[in-house]
């Protein structure tokens, strides 16, 4: 077995430790993804010669870019970089690129904060349909709304349509008090919060009144053709397979669809009936469709959230 040696004499000991990860988790991730072997020393890395050696070398270089820029490198970050290398997309991807997605109403620029979020933002920019899965706190819904608002502000679309399944944990909208807007609003609170932060409450209300922003339960999409819009389907893990197919086939001209959901929080009686899970399986590889899986390392809420998610994942 022959090895290629990478000179790491200019890389600090701390950076080498970050690269290796806790209990060498980052190294094990690269080895598993490429079925290879790495030997990490104080000032050098030996990688096994083979068909994937060039890809592994690219991943290692990007890992150190990430460490230099952010001072950290999670196992999820390494997995992303391996995935990009395997798809031949790593050379075009910069872990230190920081293009803003949108602006808040106060003028603050919104940037992706993790590798996963950067990949998601690139996917929304370059594809017509994007699926984004991830646990709570990964920013999937927030970034989708930010992107939609940016498209609207730059007059690239005429409207934003926000939707989600209207039944959660067995409770039907028909039994809730109020008109349809009052029934649906509590379910769509995260979308409203993001819109209000980026546009302000008054403008959001004005846009809703003029139907520039439309918020409706998923059932209301049936029979429609959605043109010249950014359409966001949130909480998509709770769509059935039939609902997901119905939603995706509403796509019209000059329209982008962003589907977000957390496949660990499926409220359907039979989890295998989730339309999001099926769509991510059968639509992979279609040009114009990108599927982005965010991980624990992409959680951008209070740092305790990531630790809570990790502990629950171990139990479950």
Can you list the positions of beta strands (E) in 85-175?
A: 102-103, 109-110, 129-133, 159-164
Q: What is the pTM of this model?
A: 0.73
Q: In the numeric block, which tokens belong to residue 246?
A: 């119905």
Domain 102-315 adopts which CATH fold?
Rossmann fold (3.40.50)
What count of other Cβ atoms lies within 10 Å of the Cβ of residue 145?
29
**How buried is 203 (Cβ within 10 angstroms: 0-12 exposed, 13-18 middle, 19+ buried)?**
middle
Question: Measuring CA to CA, how many Å separate 90 from each of 27, 65, 78, 142, 164?
Answer: 18, 12, 12, 25, 33
Pairwise CA distance, residues 113 & 72, whole Å:
12
161 phi/psi in degrees, rounded to 5: -120, 125
- Residue 282: predicted pLDDT: 95
Q: In the numeric block, which tokens belong to residue 209?
A: 């009144």
Pairwise CA distance, residues 162 & 129, whole Å:
15
Q: In the numeric block, which tokens belong to residue 288?
A: 């114009």
Assigned CATH for 3-86:
3.30.1370
Question: 3-86 and 102-315 share one CATH topology?
Answer: no
∠271-274-280 over CA atoms, to 5°?
125
Q: What is the b/e burial string over 213-232, where b = at least 16 CB atoms within 10 angstroms of the residue's CB?
A: bbbbbbeebeeeebeebbbb
Q: In the numeric block, which tokens belong to residue 2?
A: 């022959």
Pairwise CA distance, residues 39 & 94, whole Å:
26
What is the mean pLDDT for each group of 10 consecutive residues in the chain (316 residues)? 85 92 92 91 87 90 87 82 84 70 86 84 94 91 95 95 72 54 68 90 93 88 93 94 95 96 88 93 94 80 67 74
- Residue 169: predicted pLDDT: 41
- Residue 170: predicted pLDDT: 44
3-state secondary structure of 12: coil
**Percent of the chain that is helix, strand, coil (3-state, to 5):** 50, 15, 35
Q: What does the domain layout of the chain look like in residue ranges?
A: 3-86, 102-315
């Amino acid at each position: 077995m022959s090895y290629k040696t990478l000179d790491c004499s200019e890389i600090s000991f701390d950076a080498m430790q970050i690269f290796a990860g806790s209990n060498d988790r980052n190294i094990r991730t690269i080895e598993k993804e490429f079925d290879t072997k790495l030997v990490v020393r104080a000032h050098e890395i030996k990688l096994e010669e083979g068909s994937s050696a060039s890809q592994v070398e690219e991943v290692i270089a990007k890992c150190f870019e990430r460490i230099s820029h952010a001072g950290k490198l999670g196992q999820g970050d390494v997995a992303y970089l391996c995935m990009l290398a395997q798809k031949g997309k790593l050379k075009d991807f910069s872990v230190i690129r920081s293009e803003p997605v949108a602006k808040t109403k106060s003028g603050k620029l919104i940037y992706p904060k993790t590798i996963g979020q950067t990949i998601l933002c690139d996917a929304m920019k370059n594809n017509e349909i994007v699926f984004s899965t991830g646990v709570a706190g990964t920013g999937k819904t927030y970034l989708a709304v930010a992107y939609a608002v940016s498209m609207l502000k730059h007059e690239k679309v005429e409207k934003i349509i926000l939707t989600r399944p209207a039944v959660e944990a067995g409770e039907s909208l028909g039994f809730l008090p109020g008109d349809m807007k009052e029934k649906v609003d509590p379910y769509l609170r995260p979308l409203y919060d993001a819109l209000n932060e980026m546009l302000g409450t008054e403008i959001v209300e004005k846009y809703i009144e003029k139907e520039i922003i439309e918020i409706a339960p998923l059932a209301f999409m049936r029979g429609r053709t959605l043109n010249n819009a950014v359409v966001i389907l949130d909480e998509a893990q709770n769509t059935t397979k039939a609902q997901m197919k119905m939603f995706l086939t509403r796509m019209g001209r000059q329209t982008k669809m962003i589907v977000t959901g957390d496949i660990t929080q499926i409220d359907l009686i039979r989890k295998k009936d989730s339309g999001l899970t099926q769509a991510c399986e059968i639509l992979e590889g279609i040009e114009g469709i990108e599927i982005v899986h965010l991980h624990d390392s992409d959680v951008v809420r209070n740092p305790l959230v990531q630790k809570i998610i990790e502990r629950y994942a171990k139990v479950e």
